[in-house]
Amino acid sequence: MNITEVRVKLLENQPDKLRGFASITIENFLVIRDLKIIEGANGLFIAMPSRKLCDRCPACAGKNHLRARFCNDCGRRLQSGRGPHDERGRMRLYADIAHPIHQRARDFMEAEVLSSFRNELKRSQEEGYVAVSFDDMDYESYERATTSAHNSQR
């Protein structure tokens, strides 16, 4: 498998561990967006695009994020700690939308993305740097808002 393009959006001055976003193109054929570049305790790693897991309120069947304490629709108090847990007993709050199926693929993707990230970082320190454009992506709102990078992948 060849990754034919990597685009990196750097995030600076983040209050959390999120250092950027990336999109990758596989074989000039498929684009995967919204990979996160996160600074963990053991260095940088990538998190795959993911969605928040939800469940339904027992009273009204309204959909709520697993971390919600009250139902968005009827206001009923919801049980805490509900939903699936990982092998370490922590709540699983996110599910990957796309992910590598074995370690070799993960390592390869991670190396490609992190190498592009470091190049972009270097480029960003040069004069006249223009950030890569991400057509329709509204990453600017991420830079203003306090984002929560989740580390459920590691």
* Chain residues in the site for Zn ion (CB under 5 A): 57, 59-60, 62, 71, 73-74, 76
Q: How far is the CB of 95 from Zn ion (least distance, A)?
A: 22
In the three-class reduction of DSSP (H, G, I as helix; E, B as strand; rest coil), residue 106 is classed as helix
Phi and psi of 116, rounded to 5°?
-65, -40
Q: Which is nearer to Zn ion, 30 or 74 (CB)?
A: 74
Q: Which is nearer to Zn ion, 64 or 116 (CB)?
A: 64
Q: How far is the CB of 92 from Zn ion (least distance, A)?
A: 22
Which residues lie closer than 8 Å to 54 by C-beta, 6 or more apart?
Answer: 63, 64, 65, 66
Q: Which is nearer to Zn ion, 53 or 149 (CB)?
A: 53
Q: How far is the CB of 74 from Zn ion (least distance, A)?
A: 3
